[in-house]
Structure 1
Amino acid sequence: MATKQPDWEAIERAYRAGALSIRTIAERNGISDTAIRKKAKASGWVRDLSEQVRKEVRNKLVRGEVRDGQCANPERDAEIVEEAAEEGATVVRSHRRDIRKASNLANLLMDDLLTTIQQRESIENAIEEETKEDSSGIRRGAMLAAVGLPSNAKTLFQLSSAMKNLQVLERQAFNLDDKEQSSDVDELSSLMDELSKDA
């Protein structure tokens, strides 16, 4: 049985696009990264389109348009950029959907917390009634603690932190933050994560 030959044209496109690591390209094509490096060196491939790919991902997400790059072989490079940009745009769109789902869930949990706080007195009365025959009071104490002010305050803090992180991620996913703010955003996100763990 003949061994399937690598699709060197597809490998070249992925290599030159620079969006994937050489190891990832190798795994997808069932060959070693060493073989790709040797082929790239022998054929003079250069990973020179990564910046164009990033630009085209942004363009595709905003307008769905692709501009040809100014390079030695514009038509071929445009194909490479288009292919890699489409893959990148698909990933970002998926992230946006996931962030939106998480934001909706956080809002639902916040609504539940508000309902619990507004109805705390009736919930506590129901707990008292439910546990009136318990001799130890352990179950009653645990149930009251679950709807008590300290528990609600901790839940509120955790939900607020989660929503803050989701807002940061959403702004990044929709390119609403300036590049200069990116380090501050990363630092804020890390800080909120740590606060959530400590709460």
Structure 2
Amino acid sequence: MTTKQPDWEAIERAYRAGSLSIRTIAERQGVSDTAIRKKAKVQGWARDLSDQVRKEVRSKLVRGEVRNDQGANCELDAEIIEEAAEEGARVVRSHRRDIRKATNLANLLMDDLLNTIQRREEIEDAIIDETDEDNNGMRRASMLAAVALPSNSKTLFQLSSAMKNLQVLERQAFSLDEKEKTDDADEISKMMDELSQDA
């Protein structure tokens, strides 16, 4: 029966690494610690890598901790991104609703203006009949001015401006434009403020 030969290459690596005691290496490899010491002396092995091994162990631990910290940071970043995205989506949905309401209102006003223009003569006749018995004519003049061409032109201009702004806002709110946007939410808010000032 043959005896298993020691793996001297593995023993040398373990010995030079310096992380295990000579006795532990001997037990693992099935040889005596005396045999290892003799072989090391003959071969000139030195336990010269122990400092480098310790440094690498520390490095691995630090990299592992950094990786874990980065994992935690990534999770935190993901939470922050999710919260910000949810808030941004809420703002955009709110703007879309506001823009839709404003567009519907502008459409109603445009329809009302069209109806007024189409029936202007009829409305003017009704105003004259209504104010026939008024003494000073101020009421008749203000009512006729409300349906007169200059008033209708001014209203049409204001509605056209509002519709133009609303269309830009709607395209931005639904991301229909390809151009780069710096801060859509601020731009939409600014345009909504302008619309409310024009009204």
Q: Give the corresponding residue for 1:72.
A: 70
- 1:181 is displaced (CA, Å) by 7.7
Structure with greater Cα Rg:
2
Structure 1 residues 85, 146: CA separation in 2 closer, same or farther (over 3 Å shift)?
A: same
**Structure 1 residue 137 and structure 2 residue 127: aligned?**
no
- Give the 3-state SS of the residue equivalent to 2:70 in structure 1: coil
**Structure 1 residue 150 and structure 2 residue 150: aligned?**
yes
Q: Which runs of 4+ in 1 moved over 6 A?
A: none
2: CA distance, partners of 1:114 / 1:172: 29
Q: Give the corresponding residue for 1:101.
A: 101
Q: Give the corresponding residue for 2:123.
A: 123
User: Following superposition of structure 1 onto structure 2, how do residues 155-170 of structure 1 map, counting pairs within 5 Å?
Assistant: 155-170=155-170
Q: Which moved more, 1:75-84 or 1:147-156?
A: 75-84
Q: Give the corresponding residue for 1:24.
A: none
Structure 1 residues 182, 128: CA separation in 2 closer, same or farther (over 3 Å shift)?
A: farther
- 1:149 is displaced (CA, Å) by 0.6
Percentage of identical aligned residues: 72
Per-residue CA deviation, residues 16-58 of structure 1 (Å, 9 max, x unaligned), is xxxxxxxxxxxxxxxxxxxxxxxxxxxxxxxxxxxxxxxxxxx
TM-score by length of 1: 0.54
RMSD: 2.8
Per-residue CA deviation, residues 119-147 of structure 1 (Å, 9 max, x unaligned), is 11110010010011112111111100000
- 1:155 is displaced (CA, Å) by 0.3
Structure 2: state its 5+ residue gaps.
Answer: 1-68
2: CA distance, partners of 1:153 / 1:181: 34
**Structure 1 residue 87 and structure 2 residue 87: aligned?**
yes
